[in-house]
Amino acid sequence: MTARASVSSTRWSGEKRLASQRDWRLRAPAADFVLHNDGSTEALRAAVRAELARILALHRAGALPPSNYHRWRAEQAIQGVARPAGTAQS
């Protein structure tokens, strides 16, 4: 395989992976927090640090709420939303 073919194959593979992913907005209600990686690396690092500090402060205060995931997943099961193939059961 040539370097050009390899780059093309890698690009195609990446595009295929991205196209197969569910829209993040469909899964956002299951998340305890959502960070958008649409800025600089330093902006993302700062957002991660801030969120981690918030979570740790809640944990230390004994005020960390339960995860949203299990409630969301139960709602999805009631609505009959199929679990994507290859994902573990909760």
Q: What is the pLDDT of residues 27-55, one digit of tens each?
A: 899 999 999 999 999 999 999 999 999 99
Output the pTM of the full model.
0.61
- Where along the chain do its domains lie? 36-73
Assess contact for 35 and 51: CB atoms under 8 A.
yes
Tokens at 75, concatenated: 């709602």
Secondary structure of the chain in the HEC alphabet? CCHHHHHHHHHHHHHHHHHHCCCHHHHHHHCCCCCCCCCCHHHHHHHHHHHHHHHHHHHHCCCCCCCCHHHHHHHHHHHCCCCCCCCCCC
Q: What is the pLDDT of residues 59-77, one digit of tens each?
A: 999 999 999 999 999 998 9
